[in-house]
Chains A and B, each alone.
Chain A
């Protein structure tokens, strides 16, 4: 990779959410100075043409549709062959997502480009966090090796789980489950379908928009970095006779149930009640 890598960023079939998320990267202007963007679907660039590149970013899923007076799959194949590294940006390109097929993996089967998987870095997420892509670009620019897991996801991002760093962890530990939506207290794992404990991501480690995450805002993690995203009944926890069918990674069911049972039997009084209550006020000049 020479000093200013040539990047082609192509949109397959998706929503452009990953591009818009990427635009939230705080150091974007500095990063763009280090890249030669030959094409991007939203940023001002030269007209698209099939050409060689150092990095090919594919956003969106593969589908047999018309694109630029040609066919999307034909275009992707030609670009793929004429590049050095491919970034499958987002869950659509990594695993197929909702709209089509992924590059090297689909939900259950392998993808069309699996034979060339060593060329591909998967960055699943719906959308991706801008820092994840910023990091990969930087590593590629500097020619540093990137550690990948069995699904070609960078380990530095995906070895953590959404659960790591969630401010509701105390409630998880003491098994104080949220009864319903709309409160800052309570764990969302048991009743609201939170997939945090078994979803590989860094969402509570590198916060979203530098400030928050879905579980902090009371929304359960939907497991969007995993191959099977989206599953059905995203706001419900699958249980078998009341026992969650998916449990935190690395723990046996027996161990989890024992710990959960102990936690449920003992009480953390501070966590059993609301942290504080607002008084009803008619004061308009408060905010």
Chain B
């Protein structure tokens, strides 16, 4: 049976085998843009404008990954100030993604009520504003460039950013109440997967892309791993993970937990920023290869670049959704596939969306 899943920054089709319970599911995506090819022969700085447009909700992560990949190729130096400020905005995007996903994508699979959309937007508008105070606008800024950042912010700007964070902290209890509400009629043990996790502290030589034209599946050491908030926050939510392992409960819990974890982290980072340092240190431009591995909202994001005479010779992007939603095999299923197997079809939408899919990213 075929099931079209929508509202996942695009669409995907699930080809399901099985009657009451899922025996196997193939995952198919539809969109493809060929951005890696589009980048070839462009000036390397142009990638900072093109790559955020891989995605409208996690474009900022692509920007940071691009800047870092080029910096890796140039062996560039950054001030601590630039590093901290980039971490601030990257964290903000993760927070905004989790909120939007929780209320706009996930919640409607169980509870349909418009008020949750507006609750999410109240939050996300403030976060977008916090990013704009630093980077000029959100979505789609290019303030992170190889060597640092273009902006020259003041403590007045940081005061405004910090106050946004303090306001957001007040919502913590309310959001956890909504989390409990979501699970009122939903079994917490569903959606257990391979229980294999990957964070950015990996050995890049073990990452392999397998053609699934025009997309690519991604294995690590030959196996499919799960990446994302659960992989990142597992040790912080040990008590939940021990009880529920990698079920949808842990997966969603980790995302909600990470929201407030990162809000706290950002408040801490702000106190460390020393604005007397330089925003930008001009790097030495050389022909070379470079790569970056960062933690984006949905998990590991990898950018690889090869620069020749200031032009992009080759560019490769591996997005977290490729890791989690690879189209594996019965012997070697991906995290999302394993999570759906042996589960009742009525929970498919929720289980699938638990992996916070970004279809446009897959179709880059």
Min CB distance A204 to B, Å, is 11
Min CB distance B69 to A, Å, is 17
**Total number of B residues with any Cβ neighbor in A under 8 Å:** 76
**Total number of A residues with any Cβ neighbor in B under 8 Å:** 65
Q: Is the CB–CB distance between B271 and A183 below 8 Å?
A: no
Does B352 lie at the interface of the complex (its beta carbon under 8 Å from any beta carbon of A)? Answer: no
Does A19 lie at the interface of the complex (its beta carbon under 8 Å from any beta carbon of B)? Answer: yes
Q: Is the CB–CB distance between A233 and B139 below 8 Å?
A: no
What residue in chain A is nearest B34 (Cβ atoms)? Answer: A99
Q: Which of B53, B121, B131 sits near A98, CB closer than 8 Å?
A: B53
A44 to B144, CA, bound (A): 34
Q: Which residues of B contact A215 (CB under 8 A)?
A: 136
Min CB distance A279 to B, Å, is 6
What residue in chain A is nearest B35 (Cβ atoms)? Answer: A98
Q: Which residues of A contact B151 (CB under 8 A)?
A: 182, 184, 217-219
Stretch from A60-68, A102-110, A169-177 that touches the partner: A60-68
0/1 interface trace, chain A 227-238, chain B, CB 8 Å (1 if under): 000101111100
Min CB distance B37 to A, Å, is 11
A76 to B37, CA, bound (A): 27
Min CB distance A283 to B, Å, is 9
0/1 interface trace, chain B 15-34, chain A, CB 8 Å (1 if under): 00000000000000011110
Does B265 lie at the interface of the complex (its beta carbon under 8 Å from any beta carbon of A)? Answer: no
Q: Is the CB–CB distance between A214 and B139 below 8 Å?
A: no
A282 to B131, CA, bound (A): 26
What residue in chain B is nearest A39 (Cβ atoms)? Answer: B6
Q: Which of B124, B134, B148, B272 sits near A284, CB closer than 8 Å?
A: B272
Q: Is the CB–CB distance between B150 and A182 below 8 Å?
A: yes
Stretch from A23-31, A242-250, A251-259, A264-272 that touches the partner: A23-31
A182 to B153, CA, bound (A): 9
Q: Which residues of A contact B140 (CB under 8 A)?
A: 17, 21, 126-127
Q: Which residues of A contact B279 (CB under 8 A)?
A: 181-183, 218
Q: Is the CB–CB distance between B56 and A15 below 8 Å?
A: yes
Q: Which residues of B contact A210 (CB under 8 A)?
A: 129
Q: Which residues of A contact B138 (CB under 8 A)?
A: 24, 208-209
Q: Is the CB–CB distance between A23 and B55 below 8 Å?
A: no
Q: Which of A29, A203, A232 sits near B43, CB closer than 8 Å?
A: A232
Q: Which residues of B contact A213 (CB under 8 A)?
A: 136-137
Q: Is the CB–CB distance between A16 and B133 below 8 Å?
A: no
What residue in chain B is nearest A185 (Cβ atoms)? Answer: B152
- Given the known interface contacts A16-B360, A222-B49, A232-B42, the answer about A24 and B128 at a Cβ–Cβ threshold of 8 Å is yes
Does A18 lie at the interface of the complex (its beta carbon under 8 Å from any beta carbon of B)? Answer: yes
0/1 interface trace, chain A 1-13, chain B, CB 8 Å (1 if under): 0000000000101
Q: Which residues of B contact A51 (CB under 8 A)?
A: none
Q: Which of A67, A69, A182, A287 sits near B278, CB closer than 8 Å?
A: A182
Does A273 lie at the interface of the complex (its beta carbon under 8 Å from any beta carbon of B)? Answer: no
Q: Which of B7, B147, B275, B360 sits near A181, CB closer than 8 Å?
A: B147
Q: Which residues of A contact B278 (CB under 8 A)?
A: 182
Min CB distance A36 to B, Å, is 13
Min CB distance A97 to B, Å, is 8
Does A84 lie at the interface of the complex (its beta carbon under 8 Å from any beta carbon of B)? Answer: no
What residue in chain B is nearest A63 (Cβ atoms)? Answer: B33
0/1 interface trace, chain A 21-59, chain B, CB 8 Å (1 if under): 101101011001000000001111000100000000000
A104 to B216, CA, bound (A): 34
Min CB distance B57 to A, Å, is 5
Q: Is the CB–CB distance between A279 and B271 below 8 Å?
A: no
A231 to B218, CA, bound (A): 33
Q: Is the CB–CB distance between A65 and B274 below 8 Å?
A: no
Q: Is the CB–CB distance between A23 and B133 below 8 Å?
A: no
Q: Is the CB–CB distance between A235 and B33 below 8 Å?
A: no
Min CB distance A178 to B, Å, is 10
Q: Is the CB–CB distance between B139 and A99 below 8 Å?
A: no
0/1 interface trace, chain B 277-313, chain A, CB 8 Å (1 if under): 0111010000000000000000000000000000000
Q: Is the CB–CB distance between B46 and A230 below 8 Å?
A: yes
A203 to B136, CA, bound (A): 10
Q: Is the CB–CB distance between A218 and B143 below 8 Å?
A: yes
Q: Is the CB–CB distance between B136 and A278 below 8 Å?
A: no
Does B158 lie at the interface of the complex (its beta carbon under 8 Å from any beta carbon of A)? Answer: yes
Q: Please indicate which of the listed interface residues A32, A203, A234, A279 has the most CB atoms of chain B within 10 Å of its own CB.
A: A234
Min CB distance B271 to A, Å, is 4
Min CB distance B35 to A, Å, is 8
What residue in chain B is nearest A276 (Cβ atoms)? Answer: B154
Q: Which of A19, A65, A230, A287 sits near B31, CB closer than 8 Å?
A: A65
Q: Is the CB–CB distance between A65 and B30 below 8 Å?
A: yes
A176 to B176, CA, bound (A): 52
- Given the known interface contacts A182-B149, A208-B138, the answer about A233 and B43 at a Cβ–Cβ threshold of 8 Å is yes
Does B229 lie at the interface of the complex (its beta carbon under 8 Å from any beta carbon of A)? Answer: no
- Given the known interface contacts A69-B4, A181-B279, A209-B128, the answer about A287 and B30 at a Cβ–Cβ threshold of 8 Å is no
Q: Which residues of A contact B275 (CB under 8 A)?
A: 278
Q: Which residues of A contact B132 (CB under 8 A)?
A: 208-209, 211-212
Q: Which residues of B contact A232 (CB under 8 A)?
A: 42-43, 46
Q: Is the CB–CB distance between A126 and B53 below 8 Å?
A: yes
Q: List 10 A-B contacts (CB under 8 A).
A: A16-B10, A20-B57, A99-B33, A180-B282, A182-B151, A182-B152, A182-B279, A184-B152, A209-B125, A209-B128
Question: Which residues of A come within 8 Å of B, CB atoms?
Answer: 11, 13-21, 23-24, 26, 28-29, 32, 41-44, 48, 65-69, 98-99, 126-127, 180-185, 203, 208-219, 222, 230, 232-236, 277-281, 284-287
